[in-house]
Structure 1
Amino acid sequence: MGVKRAYRTIAQARKLARAERRSGSSFDLSLRQRFRGYRRGFLSKSRVIYDFEAHDHEAYLTDYQRFLGTKRINGHWNALIDNKLAFHRVLGEFPTHRPIVYGLLADGRFHAFDPDGAFRNERAADEALEDETDGRGTVLNDGGVEPEQSSPSTRPTAAPIDWVDERLSNGDRLVLKWFSGGGGNNVSFLERRDDTYYYDGSPTSEAELDETLASLENYLVCEFVEQADYANELFPGTTNTIRVLTMFDERDREAFVPIAIHRLGTRASVPVDNFSNGGLSAEIDRERGRLSAAAAYPTEGSVEWHETHPDTGTRIEGTDVPGWASVRDRLLEIAETLSHVPYVGWDLVVTGEGEFSIIEANSYPGVASLQVHRPLLAEERTRRFYRYHGVI
């Protein structure tokens, strides 16, 4: 090994070791095993998750390549994807595929978004219309609703608990998520049942909820998307999302899907379905939309595979995503419309036969939950994409 190569290897190992310390992930590997992984570009978790006995190391996109390489693919357009509010506005061209974003929690207030942006819920819009017209659509005053007459739903800002108290009827749910970041972190769920508030599944008093909401900074308040029956049968305790990776092929001038997975929540992962939080990952056959057996994150040192869900007993392997071909093809149309952002990890919820909502996207998505099934670089088209963008 030359001096320059040895220096690069040591620098790479140091960066990966620091990243691992920051993440706090712990696997029962010797220092020698860890360094061997760092030298090849892999964190300790990848040495456990990936099947290096069946596949060569070079067939896998490494953690080092993912950290330093894929982040550069979209360039400054990363901000357009990773800022959830900006991305929501981008999806304005595809309104049937985006959930409603009602407003933002910041500075101890709820900031309602302009109704022209189609963010306001229908009930609030109806109430505002009734206030401003004589019931026949005639405007009574063109100055809008007077502040003292307006409700929390129609004011530009309000105390969060006031807005929630009016907005949330029994049986209603909302999603609260930080404007940036992924991995299921900084996401909470608010529900009202039998006139009691539930925050991430736990009952909370109105005073406690008031304090919690006022403390959330830069959190979007979003519509809760109801998943299709098949996903609810697999596991009803979480919204079970699909992660689809798309790449825009510069040579063929079209988007393609190198891999797609279905994430499934478990009792251990509630309230989210993320793989690293205890959820399951099943690969989706890209042509048929059929699920494989699902992998569980190796908290005990090795990957466990489940043909049926460990909590519900529902069959996973062989389950079909309803209308998968329509979902895939429509998502590819959207990816091609946004071809200036060539690398996207889409998170979507199937809501019916061939119908879906995009809940967010990622500009340099993690690959562990993908490559637990097979190495990404084993397919030449995918390898060519990463090579074109200087990742490998």
Structure 2
Amino acid sequence: MTPSRRPHRPPFADWTGLHHTVTRRLRAKNETLQPDLDPEVRAALWRRGFLADKWRLLSMETRSFDGFLSDVQRHMARNINGPHGLVLDDKFVLYKALQTVARQPEMLAALYDGTVTVLAQSWNTLLGGEIPATIYAKPAQGAMGRGLIRATVGGGAVTVDGQRFGGDDFLDRLRRSGHDYVVTLGVAQHPEMAAFWPGTTNTLRVLAVRDPHNGKPFVGAAALRVGTRASGAIDNFSRGGLSFPVDPATGAIGPGVRRLSSGHVEPVQAHPDTGLRIAGRTVPLWTDVLACTLGAFVHLPFLRYVGWDVAVGPDGPVVIEGNSYSGVDVFQVHGPLLHAPALRAFYEHHGILAYTGPAG
């Protein structure tokens, strides 16, 4: 007799506990979103595991719920990597894991538990340099650009929003924040990527998963994020940046969107601040991006599911970070994620789609 196929759930995973934790956190968040939304619509969304903002963001007025990965399901996906997801949840740990595998921004300093560690002699070299260099300070366990500080270093000082600090003073300010931080050197962009918007590092979110039947990784979805004047120093779609779908097979860039203050999205073909047309172009060095994001799975065989953030430098891709339960809004604003058969099969195999709504 052939045994029936059941969703794969690692023995270490407390799925019931996670479901209740996810529901509790999202319910509290949901109370702050779209207060003007019709209560019946809000209730219908929540019964299916969606936060209230998805009604407008995903244009659900004109679409059914079918095919969209819900907010509850997206957070439940954290358990797909099990305890190994910790490698992705800390930027310094991932940096070490990929150090011999992929290009990454140079790590200059790390701050953990109130201790400042300068990791590279280049920190002092940059500090004393005559030509300013861009650096980024990020919470080591942060996401969505929260707490990100973009600064320039050179001439004996670190400059943040026009304010100058000594090198030690800058690191001490990070230490006193109470958060773990990493400081990295900025990445030079491929000229085509920089041209999209020179004010930010414009990155790709590449959703790579491991086929549960043969173990081979594949790219299920990809999106290009481009900064704007509104998004400031970051390119995050949730913070005012643009999102364009990218064909995983070819790297072709499709028509994009930007999020309006109302919560709806507006179609964009060109950059709103420069007029440069982006839709219809192709991501430079796309085959190298695929090789990089899929090749990392060979060296990290315990991972099943990663949302890679990748910059494209003049000579090839640079891995900025990885996400153990990637946000999916940047993909789903262009269409339901689960309409891709291979992705639907992946989530079904890992039991994610069984969570059709919040815990009782």
The TM-score, its normalising length taken from structure 2, stands at 0.84
Deviation of 1:56 after TM superposition, in Å, equals 3.3
Q: 1:386 and 1:212, CA in 2 relative to 1: closer, same or farther beyond 3 A?
A: same
1:329-348 to 2 correspondence within 5 Å?
Answer: 329-348=291-310
Question: What's the CA shift for 1:250?
Answer: 1.7
Paired position in structure 1 for 2:67 = 59
- Contact 1:16/1:38, CA 8 A, preserved across alignment: no
For the aligned residue pairs, the C-alpha RMSD in angstroms reads 2.6
Q: Deviations over 1:62-89 (max 9, x none)?
A: 111112x201100001111111111111
Q: Is 2:45 aligned against 1:37?
A: yes
Aligned to 1:80: 87
Question: C-alpha displacement at 1:339, in angstroms?
Answer: 3.2
1:316 aligns with 2:323: no
Residue aligning to 1:365: 326
Q: Which residue does 1:20 correspond to in 2?
A: 30
- Distance in 2 between the 1:12 and 1:224 partners? 34
Question: 1:338: how far off?
Answer: 2.0
Given that 1:190 and 1:197 are in contact with CA atoms closer than 8 Å, whether structure 2 keeps it comes out as yes
Q: Which of 241, 245, 265 pairs up with 2:207? A: 245
- Unaligned 5+ segments in structure 1 are 1-9, 114-119, 125-152, 154-162
Q: Which moved more, 1:81-90 or 1:321-330?
A: 321-330
Q: CA deviation at 1:12?
A: 9.1
Q: Spell out the pairing of 1:142-221 with structure 2 (5 A cutoff).
A: 153=124, 165-166=127-128, 169-192=130-153, 197-199=158-160, 202-206=161-165, 209=170, 212-216=173-177, 217-221=179-183
CA contact (8 A) 2:53 2:263 kept: no
- d(CA) in 1 for partners of 2:93, 2:289: 23
2:53 counterpart SS class: helix
Higher radius of gyration, 1 or 2: 1
Q: More helix by proportion, 1 or 2?
A: 1
Q: Work out the percentage of aligned pairs sharing the same amino acid.
A: 31
CA deviation map 1:149-168 (0-9, x unaligned): xxxx4xxxxxxxxx9744x5
- Give the count of matched residue pairs: 332
- The whole-number CA distance in structure 1 between the counterparts of 2:80 and 2:208 is 13
In the aligned structure 1, how far is the partner of 2:189 from the partner of 2:321? 15
CA contact (8 A) 1:12 1:41 kept: no
Q: What is the CA–CA distance in structure 1 between the aligned matches of 2:71 and 2:171, rounded to whole Å?
A: 41
Q: Does 1:97 align with 2:56?
A: no
Q: Determine the structure 2 residue equivalent to 1:111.
A: 117
- After superposition, the C-alpha distances for 1:141-198 in whole angstroms (9 at most, x for unaligned) are xxxxxxxxxxxx4xxxxxxxxx9744x5432121111110210111111104777743
The answer as to 2:352 corresponding to 1:391 is yes
Q: Give the C-alpha shift of residue 298 in structure 1.
A: 3.5
Counterpart residue identity of residue 349, structure 1: A
Deviation at residue 275 of structure 1 after TM alignment: 0.8
The whole-number CA distance in structure 1 between the counterparts of 2:329 and 2:322 is 17
CA contact (8 A) 1:12 1:39 kept: no
Structure 2 CA distance, aligned partners of 1:49 and 1:382? 21
Structure number with higher relative contact order (C-alpha < 8 Å, ≥ 6 residues apart): 2
Does the 8 Å contact 1:102/1:112 carry over to 2? Answer: yes
The counterpart of 1:380, out of the listed 326, 336, 341, is 341
Name 2:314's counterpart in structure 1.
352
Q: Is the 8 A contact 1:239 1:273 kept in 2?
A: yes
1:263 Cα deviation from its structure 2 partner: 0.4
Question: CA contact under 8 A between 1:13 and 1:35: conserved in structure 2?
Answer: no
Which residue of the partner structure matches residue 5 of structure 2? none
Counterparts of 1:32 and 1:287, CA distance in 2: 40
CA displacement at 1:106 relative to structure 2: 4.9
Give the counterpart letter for 1:361 in structure 2: G
1:357 counterpart letter in structure 2: V
The normalised TM-score by structure 1 is 0.78
- What letter is aligned with 1:184? G
**Structure 1 SS opposite 2:99:** helix
8 Å Cα contact 2:67-2:337 kept in structure 1 = yes
Structure 2: segments with no counterpart, 5+ residues: 1-19, 354-360
Could you say what secondary structure the match of 1:44 adopts? coil
Change (3 A) 1:75 1:214: closer
Residue 177 of structure 1 aligns to a residue whose secondary structure is strand
Q: Where does 1:256-335 land on structure 2 (aligned, <5 Å)? A: 256-335=218-297
Change (3 A) 1:252 1:35: same
Letter in 2 for 1:66: R
